[in-house]
Structure 1
Amino acid sequence: MKSFLKGVHRVILFMQGISGVALTFVIVLTTADVVLRIFGHPVPGAVEITAMCGGIVVGFTVPMTSWMKGHIAVDFLLNSWTAKARCAVETITRCVGILMFIFIAVNMVRIGRGFQVANEVTGTLELPMYPVVYGIAAGLFALSVVLLCDILKIYGGEGNE
């Protein structure tokens, strides 16, 4: 189990690295666009590149955020419950999350495939849109695996770490 958890952690760490590069690129691109706009030469397609990178940043960052428990959690009610009841509720919520995010990811793959078949591109630079949609789907699948890891941690004795 530990090797599986380490493997998942490596994958989502790699995804987080990609999102960091994309975010850095957005910062540099936006700065260049603002500066060049002052001189009357904006960067063509800056808005669409920023939007596409934003999809990658969000899609690839969510799994690590969930792994690190960096999201908002409402524990004040659960803290008064027994450990067994907390484990049961956490397992149920993780299972619902897994089903929901797999459902969304599958639909994102369908949307991406539709974009790919239709040769859907952005307006200015005519960049294909489907890779970003597939990337977001990959992030959602990774999030589902992270939620599965949470369940394994609960019953493997690691609790909420």
Structure 2
Amino acid sequence: MSSTLPHHGGAPLIVVMGVSGSGKSTVGAALAQRLGVPYEDADDLHPQANIDKMTAGVPLDDDDRRPWLEQIGRWLAGHGERGGVVSCSALKRAYRDQLRSHAPRAVFVHLHGTREVIARRQAARPGHFMPASLLDSQFDTLEPLADDEAGTVIDVDQSVDAIVQQYVDQTDPS
């Protein structure tokens, strides 16, 4: 899949993005471990009102997401020197722009999969606050990375190790 990954000096600052069930948390944690940088799951930064809304099967709107994205942006900005990985859906360009306003050199790793693959993954994680019924709204909201956005798209229908290795291979300047 396509890739536009700048080779910055210094520690990596990465947002692992995609629809719910794409593996953002698992891949994000594995990528952070591989790169030796801190990791944050943006799901842990949601205010309780957002969690309650999603648990009830109601999609978040932009007003719900704005303060959450600000908190994620502040986390990224605070890790600019030492680097970090955050998993965040970042489904719309406007959301990614909001994150980049805090951390301009952040790159996005879009974990892409078909509805069928993602639905299968969602079914394997009972008890998560994002019900499978919201999957269609996630795909409807998703705006793929544009050519001018620093990032890459990686197919999720492979092992976590293979996904992490694909990212590492794409960013290795040698």
Query: Shorter-chain TM-score: which interval?
Result: under 0.3
Of structures 1 and 2, the larger Rg is shown by 1
The alignment's TM-score, normalised by the length of structure 2, stands at 0.26
The alignment's TM-score, normalised by the length of structure 1, stands at 0.27
Name the one with the larger strand percent. Answer: 2
Name the one with the larger helix percent. Answer: 1
| Relative contact order higher in (CA < 8 Å, ≥ 6 apart) | 2
